[in-house]
Structure 1
Amino acid sequence: MRILASPAFANKKVNPYNALLYSNMKAFTRAHTKNLVHEYSHKKAILEKFDIVHFHWPDGYINQKNIFKALQRSILLSFILMIVKLKGSKIVWTVHNVAPHDAFHPRYSQAFMRWFARQCDGLIFMSEESKATFFSLYNCKENIHYAIIPHGHYRNSYPDPIDQAAAKNHLGLPQNKQVLLFFGMIKPYKNIDLLMELFTQAKLFDYVLVVAGNTDSPELKERLKQHAKNPNIHLLLQFIPDDRLHIYLSAADAVILPYKSILNSGALLLALSFNKPVIAPHIGAFVSLQQELGRKWIYSYAEDLEVGALKNALRHLEAQDRSSPCPLENYDWDKIAASTLAFYRQLFPISSSSEQALSS
């Protein structure tokens, strides 16, 4: 089986999800199939033959500030999809998001994604909630193949955690206060300015709130700086490299992800990989993960985040026993890679010739 993935390994430094998936996928194949997974390029898609063309964030490709550039890119991608389908390739989309976050042209982006979904032969969702949300918004081909394959954990993907006191000292945080952490790219839908405002209103004097991440919005950056006048809020507006992220997670007592909307979250799995409990809205993959792992690991609030919900979440998590690591065995990457390969094979008619081709 030959797979063309967009992306496969190119985004490893930004998000190791794809590299973990495809490197583990290679481990399931025979030694002579070293060229199983290929990094997507238009040239490869047009000139070579692949069994599977797997997209992860197709909306990002056409999400351009200049509408004419967005149109140009969508026309080119449409042409390429037509070519690969004529060659017999199956198009797979892992639905990380049902709608583009912070799209420059929301109506156009959504219209393109509805068209893109109809071109797919298979869809991968990370939770039942994601699947339900998707099918409430999209009209796909009848009897389209789909699978529920969760997001994997990030254990052994980052440096090991260090002692909490040492981590606090390294970051200049007080030893006598608990640490509530948000980390990652700061975008409007992540609700960080509201989180900082509510934290101040809640008067949680035994906590410090650490917000670590960058934003490309000058307006949002200024609002965050205003909220950071609270001495118990530590704001670091810069990208946190992988070789330092473990320090922030080691210092944390809990992680908060107060998103307005979300379908899946790599940050959630990363926090749990460091055995840190998470506060998050009761939406998307947070729902099924909470049902499986319990409220001592994921405390989700049903309504919009407000002062009472924040206080209740922290007090609940403080009372829980987390002496054992978070049980993430179901999110091992070898299991996820095996499930993804099995799904690929479901997309082809069963015959002796096709079985032989797909097993190689």
Structure 2
Amino acid sequence: MNVTHLPDFTRSNPYQQALVDSLNQKGVSATLASGYPIDSVYEIFKSNTDIIHFHWVSPYIQSKGKYSSLLKSRTFLFLQKIAKSLGYTIVWTVHNIGGHESQHKEIEYRTLQKFSTYCDHIIVHCRHAGKLLSSKIEADPTNVSVIPHGNYIYKYDNEVAKSEARSRFNFKPNETVFLHLGQIRRYKQVNKLIKSFDELSCGNDKLIIAGSVDEGVEFKSLNSILQSDDIQFEDRYIPDNELQYYFNACDVVVLPYRDILTSGSIIMAMGFKKPIIAPSIGCIPEDLAQQSELLYDPDETPLVEMMEKAKEIPNLKTIGQKNYDKIANRDWREIASDTIKSYKAAINNH
């Protein structure tokens, strides 16, 4: 069984490499392809592919302009039609239904609806995602499998003690430290986080914001960052070997997403035994059911209220341990086995 995964996002996301490595250990010949469309088509032919496994589809169909988005979408669908006529089996793992900053949602949803009809099988990471697929793009629910997101515990060092990690940032033991780590994009609402942090009642708090700022993000709260001694802001990519310092220095991770389905940042934070403040949307309520006290309805509960609540919880370490215990059970070998079952189902549906 030869499988080509598209597009190759391994430089910015460890998910695909973990899956491909585990599939190869199970006897599947799994490869990754980047470059579209020529390089990807070449890789598919070169590797004698049986199954084309798509992950993030938005790069193939999104563009800033409406007409260029239409052109990209139609080209993408035309290539799927050709692939099907040539006998390829198509599988799609839905990490997000549409792009986070898509400017043409209607075009995107219409394209995804048509694309889903070309898919021989679809994989989602939670039950809620399967329901969303049915409601938003009318995907056939009988053609969908739920395979949870695997853990990243194996990937990142986690040996630095809290005291050592805090000394790197000059934090005191009695300070409550909040962390937001990852590429800074509009849907992550970092401006809202900064505003909420400024509204906290006690001055014994610190906030770390670490990650490269994506194009198009405007910091309305830039003055708060520059003038505050309580906010540490690092506009850079944080290398893997430094992550443990950020996670082990903090008490709570804060991820105030505006729109999300599957969050790799949540998976990573769980692996570092961190409690997480996050909105109750997408797959988050299923991933973090064991710490529901830190989930909130963004339409009803202010973020600052959740941050205040986290400061009053005496057992944050226990909550973090629960998150770790849950994600530790998501072994990539089992995920690979379940993915192979989905491949077999796709071949049967072809």
TM range, normalised to the smaller chain?
Answer: 0.7 to 0.9
**Post-superposition CA distance 1:16-48 (Å, at most 9, x none):** 00000110111111xxx6x44353512234676
Which residue of structure 2 lines up, in the alignment, with residue 226 of structure 1?
Answer: 223
Contact persistence 1:169–1:175 (CA under 8 A): no
> Where does 1:51-62 land on structure 2 (aligned, <5 Å)?
51-62=50-61
- Give, in angstroms, the shift of residue 174 of structure 1: 3.8
The answer to whether residue 75 in structure 2 is matched with residue 81 in structure 1 is: no
Which residue of structure 2 lines up, in the alignment, with residue 249 of structure 1?
Answer: 247
Which residue of structure 1 lines up, in the alignment, with residue 343 of structure 2?
Answer: 344
CA distance in 1, matches of 2:141, 2:169: 53
Change (3 A) 1:120 1:319: closer
Residue from 295, 298, 302 that aligns with 2:297: 302
- Give, in angstroms, the shift of residue 99 of structure 1: 2.3
Which residue of structure 1 lines up, in the alignment, with residue 118 of structure 2?
Answer: 119
CA distance in 1, matches of 2:316, 2:5: 44
Residue from 157, 160, 166 that aligns with 1:159: 157
Task: Read off the aligned partner of 1:301 and give its amino acid letter.
Answer: Y
CA distance in 2, matches of 1:183, 1:224: 17
CA distance in 2, matches of 1:128, 1:162: 36
Contact persistence 1:129–1:287 (CA under 8 A): no
- Give, in angstroms, the shift of residue 205 of structure 1: 2.1
**Unaligned residue ranges in structure 2 (runs of 5+):** 35-39
Task: Read off the aligned partner of 2:109 and give its amino acid letter.
Answer: Q
Secondary structure at 1:347's aligned position in 2?
Answer: helix
Task: Read off the aligned partner of 2:13 and give its amino acid letter.
Answer: N
Task: Read off the aligned partner of 2:312 and give its amino acid letter.
Answer: R
Contact persistence 1:122–1:144 (CA under 8 A): no
Which residue of structure 1 lines up, in the alignment, with residue 6 of structure 2?
Answer: 6
- Give, in angstroms, the shift of residue 284 of structure 1: 1.5
Task: Read off the aligned partner of 2:329 and give its amino acid letter.
Answer: N
Output the TM-score relative to the length of structure 2: 0.88
Which residue of structure 1 lines up, in the alignment, with residue 37 of structure 2?
Answer: none
CA distance in 2, matches of 1:241, 1:261: 26
**Post-superposition CA distance 1:79-121 (Å, at most 9, x none):** 3212221122221111111121111433322332222222212
Which residue of structure 2 lines up, in the alignment, with residue 358 of structure 1?
Answer: none
> Where does 1:307-346 land on structure 2 (aligned, <5 Å)?
307-316=304-313, 318=315, 321=318, 324=321, 326-327=324-325, 328-346=327-345
Output the TM-score relative to the length of structure 1: 0.86
Q: Percent identity?
A: 27
Which residue of structure 2 lines up, in the alignment, with residue 177 of structure 1?
Answer: 175
**Unaligned residue ranges in structure 1 (runs of 5+):** 355-360
Change (3 A) 1:300 1:42: same
**Post-superposition CA distance 1:235-288 (Å, at most 9, x none):** 222222222222211211110111112111110010010111111111121111
CA distance in 1, matches of 2:210, 2:174: 20
- Give, in angstroms, the shift of residue 226 of structure 1: 2.2
- Give, in angstroms, the shift of residue 184 of structure 1: 0.8
Report the aligned-residue RMSD: 2.5
Q: Give the length in aligned residue pairs.
A: 340
